[in-house]
Structure 1
Amino acid sequence: MTIDIENLIFGLDTFGDIAYHEETQERMSDEESLRMIIEEGKLADELGIDVIALGEHHRKEYSIASPDTVLAALAMVTKNIILGTGVTVLSSDDPVRVYQRFATVDALSNGRAQVMLGRGSFTESFPLFGYDLRDYNELFEEKAALFNELLKNEPVNWKGRFTQSLDNVQVYPKMTKRLDVQVGVGGSPDSIIRAAKYGFPVMLAIIGGDPKRFKSYISLYQRAAAQFGQPLHPLGMHSHGVIADTDEEAREIAWNYVKKSMDQIGRERGWSAMDRERFEFEIESGSYYVGSPETVARKIAHVMQALGVQRFDFVYGAGGQMQKDRFRTIQLYGEKVIPRVKEILRGE
C-alpha cells in the first residue's frame, strides 16, 4: 500500500504509566498522574500532534482506568487534537455504554472523539467486571457486532447472548455523524479479519521484534476487506520509544524504565528478562524508537514506508519515567521528529 505523505497522521499513546518526581525520585500518586496526563495532552495539542490515545488498564502501574473520563477533561482544555483510546476493552464493557460515553466526548470536543476497540492483552478487567475469561473470544465477537449496529445511529433491534437484547431502541445522545472507530490488533489474524468484516480501520500494536513481520497482517487485511466488499482504510501502528537530546540519554532512560516495564509483563507471561543484547536489537532493528530526534525520525520514516502505514503512534512514558523526560519526549516528537519524518519521506 502506497502511503499518502501529505496526509500522514502522528499520534501519542500512553497507558497512564505513573511517573516519578525528579526531586524525590518517588512515584506520583494516581491522582497526580492523572493531572499530569492532562498537561501532557495540552502540550501535545499545542505542538500540533494529531492524536492522543489513552489505554485502559486496571492495575497498579497505570492510572487510566477510565480513558473516556480523562478524554472528556481534555476536551475542555484542547482545541484540535483527536481524543482517542488505545484501547477500550470492549469485551469487558457494555457496548451501549461505550457508545454513549464516546458520543458524549465527541459532543464535548466538537467532533474529536475516537474510540479504539480491543479484546485486551491485559485481562484484569474481566474478573473485575464479572466476565469469564473462557468467553474471551465470544465476548468480543458479539459485542463488536452490537457496537457495529449502534454506529448506524438508528433504532437497534438486537438479540444477545452475552449482551442485552434491544427492541427498536434509540440510543442517546444521538450523533449527527458516525463515531470514529478503530480496532487495535496485537497479532491475531482473526482480529484482522473481524476488523475488515465491519469496515473498521486497524491499528497494529507492534511492541517487539522486526516490524516488517507485520506485512502479512497488512496483506491479510487488504484481501479480507476486498472479500467482504468493505472500504480499504489506511492502516496505522504504534510502538514504544523515548526521545531525548542525544542517543545516549534516550537509551539510558529506556534501559531504566522501558526494560523495567517489559520485564514486569514478561514475568507474568513467562518471558525471559530482557538482556542488553535484546534491548540493543529492539532499538537498532526491532520495535523500540529510542534516540535523538534525528535517529527516531529516520527509523519511523523507514518503517512507515516499509509497511505502507499511514499513521504512527508513539507510545511514551513506559515504566513511568521522570515527568520532565516525558514532557521532553512529547516536545521533541512534536517539534522535531514529526516534521523530520515528513521531510525524509518526501526525499528532502
Structure 2
Amino acid sequence: MEIGISTFLETTPDPVTGKIMSHAERLRNGVEEIVLADQVGLDVYGIGEHHRADYAGTAPAVILAAAASVTKRIRLSSAVTVLSSDDPIRVYQAFSTLDGLSNGRAEIMAGRGSFTESFPLFGYSLDDYDELFEENLELLLAIRDSEKVTWRGGHRPAIDNLGVYPRSVQNPLPVWIASGGSPESAVRAGMLGLPIAFAIIGGMPEKFAPLLDLYKRAAARAGHNPDTLSIATHSHGFVGDTTEQAVDQFFPPMQAQMNVLGRERGWQPYDRDAFDAARSMRGALYVGDPEYVAEKIILLRTNLGINRFFLHLNVGTMPHREMLRAIELLGTKVAPIVHKELARIES
C-alpha cells in the first residue's frame, strides 16, 4: 500500500489576510515539500497541471526535476498531465528526462482534465476533447514502447520511423490513466492494461467499487491479469496533531477555494455542514489527527482494494509550515499505522 501526496500548488488568496503568494514562492515551497515527503518515507508525490492564476503547477515535469536531484527514493509523478492539449512526444521527452535525472522514479498520470483553460491557450478545440485524448494516448504509448515510431492521426502531423529521445531508465516508463469516475475511462485503462487513479472528492468512496470492477473485467477481457494492475485514489485532506487543529486549519482555505470553483461551475455554496459530512468516516475528505486519517485509509483499502492513496494537499492556500507539518505527520504517523494494521488484517 503506497501513500503519497498530490497537489496543484495552489496560490489562492489567504482567507484571513487576502494575501496571495507569488507563483515563484509556491514553486520553491513545493520543492521543499517534496524533499520532506522523501525524508519521511512517503512513496509518491504528484503535481497536477493547470493553467490559471490560482495554481502554479503549469509544468509538473520541470518542478519534479528540480526535486529529483535532492531526493532519493520518492516517485515523482504528474497528477495529471492534460494529455489532450499537449504533444505526446514532448510529454514523453520531458518525463523520460525526469526519469533519467531521478534514476528511474518518474511517472506520467494522463488525463483529459476537468479544467479546460489549456485548450484555447494551446489552440485546441473543446469539440475535439475526447478524440484528442484518445489519439494522444495512443501515440504516447507507441513512443513509450518503441524507440522509433511510425504513426498517423487526425490532429497531429504524422511521423514516419522517427526516434524519440532520451529513452527512459524504466522500461516501460509508467503511464497511468487518471479518471474522475467515468466508466469509459475505467474500461479504456483496463483494456490497455494501464494502472488507473480515481479522483474521489465527493460522496462515499465505497460507491466507486462498481467502477473498479468494470476496470478489472475490461482488463481480463483484454488478456491482462487484473491482480497485477495498480489502482490509486486521490482525495482532499489534511493531517493535524489533533482533529480539532486539522479542522480549524483546513476548513477556511478549503471553503474559500471550493466556493470560487463552485461559482464557476454552478455548485451549491460549500459550508461547514458539507465539510463535516465529508470528513465523517464514510466520506471522501481525509481530515483529522493521524489515527483518524489512517483509519479512513484502511477502510478505503478494505472497501476498494486500492494499492496507492494520494492525499491532496492543499485545496486552498495554507501557511507553508502547516503544509510541512501535515506531510511530516502523514509520513511518520499515518503511513506506519496503515502499514502495520494492513499487515495484521491481510496476513
- Same topology, TM > 0.5: yes
Change over 3 Å in CA distance of 1:254–1:21 after alignment to 2: closer
Is the aligned partner of 1:154 residue 2:151? no
What's the Cα RMSD here? 1.7
Among candidates 201, 204, 209, match of residue 203 of structure 2:
209
Aligned to 2:308: 311
Among candidates 163, 173, 177, match of residue 179 of structure 1:
173
Q: How does 1:72-87 map to 2 (within 5 A)?
A: 72-87=65-80
In the alignment, the residues of structure 2 paired with residue 151 and residue 328 of structure 1 have an alpha-carbon distance, to the nearest angstrom, of 37
In the alignment, the residues of structure 2 paired with residue 320 and residue 254 of structure 1 have an alpha-carbon distance, to the nearest angstrom, of 9
In the alignment, the residues of structure 2 paired with residue 55 and residue 320 of structure 1 have an alpha-carbon distance, to the nearest angstrom, of 15
Among candidates 266, 270, 274, match of residue 270 of structure 1:
266
Please tell me whether the aligned partners of residues 153 and 178 of structure 1 are also in contact (alpha carbons under 8 angstroms).
no
In the alignment, the residues of structure 1 paired with residue 56 and residue 168 of structure 2 have an alpha-carbon distance, to the nearest angstrom, of 30
Q: Secondary structure at the match of 2:186?
A: helix
> 4+ residue runs of structure 1 moved beyond 3 angstroms?
19-25
Among candidates 163, 187, 191, match of residue 193 of structure 1:
187
Among candidates 121, 125, 136, match of residue 132 of structure 1:
125
Q: How does 1:256-295 map to 2 (within 5 A)?
A: 256-284=252-280, 285-295=282-292
Change over 3 Å in CA distance of 1:343–1:128 after alignment to 2: same
Among candidates 117, 120, 142, match of residue 135 of structure 2:
142
Aligned to 1:69: 62
What TM-score, normalized to structure 1? 0.94
Aligned to 1:218: 212
Aligned to 2:96: 103
Is the aligned partner of 1:55 residue 2:45? no
Please tell me whether the aligned partners of residues 15 and 256 of structure 2 are also in contact (alpha carbons under 8 angstroms).
no
Q: Secondary structure at the match of 2:175?
A: strand
How much has 1:55 moved relative to structure 2? 0.5
Q: Secondary structure at the match of 1:242?
A: strand
Specify the code of the residue in structure 2 equivalent to 1:277: D
Structure 1 residues 11-20 or 141-150, which shifts more?
Answer: 11-20
| Structure 1: runs of 5 or more not aligned | 1-7
Structure 1 residues 171-180 or 106-115, which shifts more?
Answer: 171-180
Instruction: List per-residue Cα deviations over 1:28-85 (Å, max 9, x = no partner).
Output: 2110110000100110011111100000011111111000000111111111110111
Instruction: List per-residue Cα deviations over 1:208-239 (Å, max 9, x = no partner).
Output: 11001100110000110011112420311110
| Structure 2: runs of 5 or more not aligned | none
Please tell me whether the aligned partners of residues 105 and 113 of structure 1 are also in contact (alpha carbons under 8 angstroms).
yes
Q: Secondary structure at the match of 2:145?
A: coil
Aligned to 1:122: 115
How much has 1:133 moved relative to structure 2? 0.5
Among candidates 249, 252, 261, match of residue 248 of structure 2:
252
Specify the code of the residue in structure 2 equivalent to 1:162: H
Please tell me whether the aligned partners of residues 237 and 285 of structure 2 are also in contact (alpha carbons under 8 angstroms).
yes
How much has 1:21 moved relative to structure 2? 8.4
How much has 1:24 moved relative to structure 2? 7.3
Please tell me whether the aligned partners of residues 192 and 221 of structure 1 are also in contact (alpha carbons under 8 angstroms).
yes
In the alignment, the residues of structure 2 paired with residue 295 and residue 270 of structure 1 have an alpha-carbon distance, to the nearest angstrom, of 32
Aligned to 1:4: none
How much has 1:276 moved relative to structure 2? 2.1
Percent identity of equivalent pairs: 45
Q: How does 1:221-236 map to 2 (within 5 A)?
A: 221-232=215-226, 233-236=229-232
Aligned to 1:29: 22
Please tell me whether the aligned partners of residues 202 and 278 of structure 2 are also in contact (alpha carbons under 8 angstroms).
yes
Please tell me whether the aligned partners of residues 49 and 81 of structure 1 are also in contact (alpha carbons under 8 angstroms).
yes
Please tell me whether the aligned partners of residues 37 and 328 of structure 2 are also in contact (alpha carbons under 8 angstroms).
yes
Change over 3 Å in CA distance of 1:19–1:47 after alignment to 2: farther
How much has 1:170 moved relative to structure 2? 1.2
What TM-score, normalized to structure 2? 0.95
In the alignment, the residues of structure 1 paired with residue 274 and residue 181 of structure 2 have an alpha-carbon distance, to the nearest angstrom, of 20
